[in-house]
Amino acid sequence: MMIFGIPNRLRTDGIPQYKSIEFKEFCNHFKINHEISSSHHPQSNGHAEAVVKGMKDLVKKCWRNGNVDINQFNSAILSGGLHQSGLVYQSGYLEENSKL
């Protein structure tokens, strides 16, 4: 949050960690609108599934000798023309306009 600011909205699946009292208090404290999508219906969260697939493909392409070539990975990520904050805010999980 120090780098990208506080999101207006956060969309997650329904795993227990995101349903905890502590997480609810965290969202309330920072005035984050928490939306839960169904983890049993990936089609309802199609954008997230597409992002995950793209990241898996990228990791496979950057895999060298049992490890990810971090320089190649970072270069591929940043070659899209987005600033690091854009990578986060354009992912579909966080809205572009933060509160900070």
The 10s digit of each residue's pLDDT in 66-79 is: 998 988 888 877 77
Q: What is the residue whose two structure tokens read 């920072």?
A: 30
pLDDT at 95: 38
Statement: residue 40 has pLDDT above 70? no
Q: Dump pLDDT digits (tens) for 2-20.
A: 566 888 888 887 788 888 9
Query: From CA 70, how far away is CA 63, in angstroms rounded?
Result: 9
The string of DSSP codes covering 35-94 is EE--TT-GGGGHHHHHHHHHHHHHHHHTEETTEE-HHHHHHHHHTTS--HHHHHHTTSSB
Mean pLDDT of 13-31: 90
pLDDT at 90: 54
Short-list 99, 90, 14, 10, CA closest to 54: 90
pTM over 0.85: no
